Chain A
């Protein structure tokens, strides 16, 4: 049962440039991306009556964003505390709010500025165990995955290489120079089994999308991208405890997504996986059923399956590994542009793109299935 199915569409997307030092606040980045998403839909802030965002330590709020945009009335808004796992979650939650009649037109956004709000790592030195940064938690799972399934360093490296190849087609990506396997192996260790090139770029940026009813979206400026199904911060047996599992998303959470969508992994024309690290992309290929448990490594070997032109092109903008890191929201915008066929006539366009998957990680799991 999925009463939201196809009832709501993404009618506009907006994002700022992704940079290392924007020199402006996260709030500035947030309001610029919201302004651009509204304009992309051919609307004005007076047409917006809903707002949802997530934040960790960014000083952004629905109140400040509405004030900056001059939105006269918000019928529904939420400030969700937390990180990247919320990206798909705020979008499906906004879709549910629209489908339930709580509001009509919602801006969903996130913005991040490492200089004005602190770097990913803790300045206090973290825990006595040496755990100071999120990357280490993912490295623990990656190491375990290697032990359990024979996943190799080269498998992680191939993801870095393939996603960078996609970024080389994206003039807005922060990292566009192709990398070789030798360069991957020679990049410095961060925390084993992760080299520098296994880690996403730290960036400043804001990204937003605008949702409204599918019926209304048909009359707006852009081709609507329908929200088929989603899950918001779901958990299951494989993700109960970060010290216990090597999975990123539980099979119960991903099955819930496919059941609600009425389509499956084989129906996806592309996937934009949450790629804070190469390993999260590899694990989610298994978690979402694109291959069997433990087969993520062999699936990415050589890169032909996961690159543009392959059976499942992934992270076609260069993802968070190479384009920029705005915690899912950039991945959602790329999915929308692919489904609008905005890159038609260029190698970046996924041919005949009709269905796409966007994920947010780590556990809990949020994800969206989108349709042209």
Chain B
């Protein structure tokens, strides 16, 4: 990885509830949680299982595939940091494993975006220790 990464955008601020998720990104793993109490799968961020109230979990790497649940193509740069970087597609991806992820769909014009479009991970290596789980349209022949 190039330590002089050209990444321009904001970085995440890992917390005690999602630091293991961000550690996974370093290895290009999109980690999810499986509840040890009832097996329910959820995204990182919430420490308790809403189904059975257990706190114990195991993490696993998701397939990295999903579909667009909804999106918005942002044209107005709401801060200087995004000037010259618009439009971009802020997107809710419904992962094949069930949980949703707020992310960005890249390599796709606003005109091409649609609900239900299959997408796959397109990692952006932001720093040597952290990559961003962006998505792109599922490539032809993949699968």
The residues of A with any CB-CB pair to B shorter than 8 Å are 121-133, 136, 139-144, 147, 188-194, 241, 243-244, 246
Contact = CB atoms under 8 A, between A and B. Distances in A.
A241 B82 CA distance: 27
A124 B70 contact: no
Given A125-B9, A125-B81, A130 B71 contact: no
A125 B86 CA distance: 13
Interface residues of B, number: 30
A25 B106 CA distance: 42
A246 B70 CA distance: 10
A190 B12 CA distance: 24
B82 A140 contact: no
A192 B75 contact: yes
B9 A128 contact: yes
Contacts of B70: 140-141, 143-144, 147, 246
Interface string B49-62: 00000000000000
A129 B100 CA distance: 14
A129 B79 contact: no
B121 interface: no
B72 A128 contact: no
A261 to B, nearest CB: 31
A192 B73 contact: yes
Contact of A130 (B12, B74, B115, B126): B74
Contact of B10 (A127, A139, A144, A147): A127
Given A121-B78, A127-B12, A189-B87, 15 more contacts: A121-B79, A122-B78, A125-B80, A127-B102, A128-B10, A128-B12, A128-B104, A130-B89, A140-B90, A144-B70, A147-B115, A189-B76, A191-B76, A241-B100, A246-B70
Contacts, number: 93
B79 A132 contact: yes
B24 to A, nearest CB: 15
Interface of B: 9-12, 69-76, 78-82, 87-90, 92, 100, 102-104, 110, 115, 126, 132
Contact of A243 (B102, B110, B115, B126): B102
B72 A191 contact: yes
Contact of B75 (A122, A191, A241): A191
29 contacts: A121-B78, A125-B82, A126-B78, A127-B10, A128-B9, A128-B12, A128-B126, A128-B132, A129-B103, A130-B9, A130-B88, A130-B104, A131-B90, A132-B78, A133-B78, A136-B90, A140-B92, A142-B72, A143-B72, A147-B115, A190-B75, A190-B76, A191-B75, A191-B76, A192-B72, A192-B74, A194-B72, A241-B100, A246-B70
The residue in A129, A132, A142, A243 that gathers the most chain B C-beta atoms within 10 A of its C-beta is A129
Contacts of A125: 9-10, 79-82
Nearest to A246: B70
Contact of A144 (B79, B102, B115): B115
B92 A123 contact: no
B82 A129 contact: no
B2 to A, nearest CB: 18
A130 B78 CA distance: 9
A190 B110 CA distance: 13
Q: Report the 7 A-B pairs with minimum CB-CB distance, sorted nearest first.
A: A125-B81, A139-B72, A144-B70, A189-B75, A132-B78, A121-B78, A191-B74
B8 to A, nearest CB: 9
Contacts of A143: 70-72, 115
Contacts of B100: 241, 243-244
